Amino acid sequence: MLYLVPSPIGNLQDITLRALEVLRNVDVILAEDTRNSSRLLNHFQIQKPLTPYHQHNEHKVLQHLVDQLATGKTMAVLTDAGTPGISDPAFLLVRECIRHNIRVECLPGATAFVPALVNSGLPINRFCFEGFLPLKKGRQTMLKKLAQEERTIVLYESPMRLVKTLEEMAQYFGSERQCCVSRELTKMFEENKRGTLAEVAGYFKEKIVKGEIVIVVAGTEQ
């Protein structure tokens, strides 16, 4: 049995009672960063073996993990923040488990793009989630494609690339396209900055930006 367990994106109280129960009862926890996961587990007084599982080793350890699951072990995937598989490792393991008839269960819980989308003030009846934009190859192609997207667009971005991305989107989408940038969601210094792409880019250009970033941009017909 493989469990995908969402972890809080900031506020530790956002973890669910069911998530805590699963983490207490599995044999092994696969952690994106064992240090971050240890802090979470220690806070809730959970002691379980931790195995590193991240984008740099997921191919290497994949078969071993499947073999262990096939013998009857239960495992939980725990990423640094949010739901495993959403711009984080998990997809390869889930796919292999399904191929080997190993049961997979994803618990509901924290993920950054849902609160960012809902509090953006932009239409949420239809949206597309694109994760992180390509850093180099395919970036312009993707921006040109998204410029024609009719649905609300949701992206993740790092603080160091935020202003560059907003300026590029203003170039391809038009500087007056409405957007909302959310950062530090659920934390003490949560911020949701709404306005045009040009306005929001200018705002963050004058600041030292920290925290996890979600960008929500209006579609062409909004």
**What are the tens digits of pLDDT across the range 120-134?**
999 999 999 999 999
- How many residues are recorded in the chain? 222
Residue 222 has pLDDT above 80, yes or no: no
Q: Which residues of 132-161 are buried (b: 16+ CB within 10 A; e: fewer)?
A: ebeeeeeeeeebeebbebebbbbbbbeeee
Which CATH architecture is the domain 2-106 placed in? 3-Layer(aba) Sandwich (3.40)
> What are 202-220's pLDDT values in tens digits?
999 999 999 999 999 999 9
Q: Which residues pair with 155 in a beta bridge?
A: 215
Q: What is the chain's alpha carbon radius of gyration, rounded to the nearest angstrom?
A: 19
Share of the chain above pLDDT 70, in %: 100
Cβ–Cβ under 8 Å, residues 121 and 216: no
**Strands 152-157 and 213-217: what pairing?**
antiparallel
Quote the CATH superfamily of domain 113-217.
Tetrapyrrole methylase, C-terminal domain (3.30.950.10)
Q: Alpha carbon of 2 to those of 8, 65, 78, 204, 209: distances in Å?
A: 19, 10, 11, 41, 36
Give the distance from CA 194 to its chain's centroid. Answer: 21
Q: How confident is the model at residue 221 (pLDDT cuts 50, 70, 90)?
A: confident
The answer to whether 92 touches 59, Cβ cutoff 8 Å, is: yes
CA atoms of 7 and 28, how far apart (whole Å): 16
Q: What share of the chain is helix, strand, coil (3-state, %, to 5)?
A: 35, 20, 40
Task: Decide whether 2-106 matches 113-217 in CATH topology.
Answer: no
Domain residue extents for the chain: 2-106, 113-217
What is the model's pTM? 0.92
What would the pLDDT profile of 22-80 be if each residue is shown by its tens digit?
Answer: 999 999 999 999 999 999 999 999 999 999 999 999 999 999 999 999 999 999 999 99
Angle at 157 between CA 182 and CA 211, to 5 degrees: 55
Q: Where are the beta strands (DSSP E) in the chain?
A: 2-4, 28-31, 50-52, 75-78, 104-106, 127-132, 152-157, 178-183, 191-196, 213-217
